[in-house]
């Protein structure tokens, strides 16, 4: 399968498309909200993932009235949630590989400390 080529657009095209001033895009970059790729000549280039992120930022600021500090928190929480989803999916995959229903818990990870020998009822 051939690699898909990424398509990039320049800052002027992005600004026009989203009806936003290029300085605002530069501000978002300074604030760490956007990370456009740079060309060899140091021109900002925006790919589809960056444009999707920009669209989310604009929805939060324009439509929902969230300030940039709030946008930063929301984006960070979304990234953490995505990471947790990936980890859960990986764990589910490992459980399926091991065979469902045959999950064992090592003694040092159990909720109750179990000493060697038979269990005694109180």
- Give 53's contacts (C-beta < 8 A, 6+ positions apart): 33, 34, 75
14-63 confidence digits (pLDDT tens): 999 999 999 999 999 999 999 999 999 999 999 999 999 999 999 999 99
Dihedral sign for Cα atoms in the order 6, 12, 15, 20: positive
23, containing H or E segment: helix 22-30
Tell me what pLDDT residue 108 has: 61
Predicted pLDDT at 94 = 87
pLDDT of residue 1: 46
pLDDT at 116 over 80: no
pTM for this model (two decimals): 0.70
pLDDT, greater one: 15 or 117: 15
Give the Cα separation of 57 and 31 in Å (integer).
12
d(CA 27, CA 10): 16
Residue 33: CB atoms within 10 A of its CB come to 19
Query: What does the pLDDT look like over 63-72, one tens digit per residue?
Result: 999 999 999 9
């Amino acid at each position: 399968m051939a690699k898909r080529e990424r398509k990039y657009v320049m800052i002027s095209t992005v600004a026009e498309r989203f009806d936003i001033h290029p300085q605002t895009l530069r501000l978002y970059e300074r604030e760490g909200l956007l990370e456009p790729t740079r060309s060899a000549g140091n021109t900002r280039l925006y790919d589809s993932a960056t444009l999707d992120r920009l669209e989310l930022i604009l929805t939060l600021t324009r439509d929902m009235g969230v300030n940039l500090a709030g946008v930063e928190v929301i984006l960070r929480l979304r990234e953490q949630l995505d990471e947790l989803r990936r980890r859960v999916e990986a764990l589910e995959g490992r459980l399926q590989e091991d065979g469902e229903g045959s999950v064992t818990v090592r003694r040092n990870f159990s909720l109750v400390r179990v000493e060697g020998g038979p269990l005694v009822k109180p």
